[in-house]
Structures are given as C-alpha cells and as structure tokens.
Amino acid sequence: MKRRSSLTAGQFIEELLGQGRYTFAREEAERRLGTSQAAAYMTLHRLVKAGRLVMPRSGFYVIVDPQHRAAGTLPPEWFIHELVKGMGRPYYVGLLSAAQIHGAAHHRPQEFQVVIPTRTIRPIRVGNVRIRFFGKGPFDCSETVEVKTPTGFQKVSTPETTAWDLVRYPRAAGGLGNVVTVLSELEEHLDVAKLRKTVRRHDDLLVAQRLGYLLDQLSRRDLTRGLADWVQKEDAPLRPLDPALPVARGSESRKWHLVINAELEPEA
C-alpha cells in the first residue's frame, strides 16, 4: 500500500510554481501526492474543472496562473517545448508563428504552428488556443534557434528556414498572397548567405523559383542572386507561380522560369 502524503494537490502546484515550473506529468503528481493513478487523476481532474490546470494531452498538465485564467491556458510558447518533448518528437515553432516571433506580425496567427518530421499529430485545443502540427519531409534540413520564454525556451525556425517553409507550404500560411505580405516584413531579417545555404540544403528547385521571384517583387534582388544562378544552371521547367490558381493565362518570368498566374502584392 502506498504511503499517504500530507501534501495536497493545491500545495503541489504551488510548490512547482515556486520553482518556476508550469508543467508536470501525472506520474510525478502520483509520487508527490502518494496516491494511486486513479486517485491522482480524479484530484487533478477537479483542478482542471476549476480552471487551475489544463491537459493538452493525456497525462500532461499545464498550470494556469491567475493572470491567464481568462484565456483558459498559458501562452503556448510557455509550454510547447515540454509538451512535444513528452511526445518524444523533435519539433520547431514554424511558419506564421515563427514569422511573428521574428517580427513579421502583420496579422496575428489564428493558431500556434509547430513543425515536426513527416507524420503529423492532430491539432490540440486548450482554452482559446489551437496548436496545429505540420509534418515536413525534409525536416533535418531545417535550422532553428532557441528563443527564451518566461518558462525556459522554445525551438524556432531561423528567418531563412521560415521563409522556405512559407513558400513551400503556402496553404498553411493562408495562401501565397499572404505569404508575400509576411515576407515583406520578414525580408529585413534574412541573411543572403544563410538564405542561399538554406535553400540549397533543402534541394527543392521549385521553392527557389517561387521564393526568388517573390523577393524580387519586394525589391530584394540582393537576396536572390545565388538562387537565380541555380535556377538558370539547372534549366528549371516552366511552372506556375501560384499552385492554387489556373495556369491557362499569365506572363512568363524568364529569370525564374515561372508562369505569373497571380498578381501578388503585400498588404499595406
């Protein structure tokens, strides 16, 4: 029989907060409270119903401090690293969420976007936050940085990897029309050598074509010189600029080997 502890669930949570921790696993609560799995679950479930905890996935709890209870959860950047680590997955915050972190925040993303290798995970909703996972085939080609958060850090794609992902996965970014708006704010954070290295590492010529064209439209030809050389050298096939639109009409960009089937301008 397990020895009963005098520690209550409320005291356990306050103890963690005193250590600067906002997440824990149910197994840890069982050990600290000295209760069975079923008893720990029921105790923690009452705190979930009271709004003091949320459970983004089975057995993983996030402590919601008073200042965030109106939102129903902590900001996802406070717990995303521990959440995905508990799943045993590599990850990075990417796409529109990464762009916002890097200062491209024309519109606040409607969801918190996380990139993982290939096989995806169902979206998670906690409070008023939706966390959406995107599977990326060439995940290992991505470069990330660690960005500090109030609870530790989160892994975030570099500006260059963010730009590549946005062009490669435009549907996740609200379409290529929104991508060009985001790029118009992200481009000042792009390094020409790092961008060239990132695009070549991913080895996707079509992304080089589309990304190069969009940066040219933003008057950043200084960023695209190496990409244009690669497109010309490989004699890339003629492809549509926007894959979501018909290609029956449109002018051609000889430089980028693209059919310009969309008029893309950044929002003011």
Q: Give residue 5's pLDDT.
A: 52
Strands (E), the chain: 23-25, 53-57, 60-63, 92-93, 112-117, 124-126, 129-136, 144-149, 152-157, 239-240, 251-253, 258-260
Q: Is 62 exposed, middle or buried (0-12, 13-18, 19+ CB in 10 A)?
A: buried
Assess whether pLDDT exceeds 90 at residue 249.
no
pLDDT digits (tens, 9 = 90+) for 10-46: 999 999 999 999 999 999 999 999 988 899 999 999 9
- CA–CA separation, 23 and 62 (whole Å): 5
In the chain, ranges of CATH 1.10.10.10 domains = 9-68
Domain 9-68 has CATH 1.10.4100.10: no
Residue 99, both tokens? 């762009």
Assess whether pLDDT exceeds 90 at residue 222.
yes
- CA–CA separation, 156 and 186 (whole Å): 14
Q: Give residue 169's pLDDT.
A: 96
Contact 76, 98 (CB under 8 A): no
Q: What is the mean pLDDT of residues 79-91?
A: 95
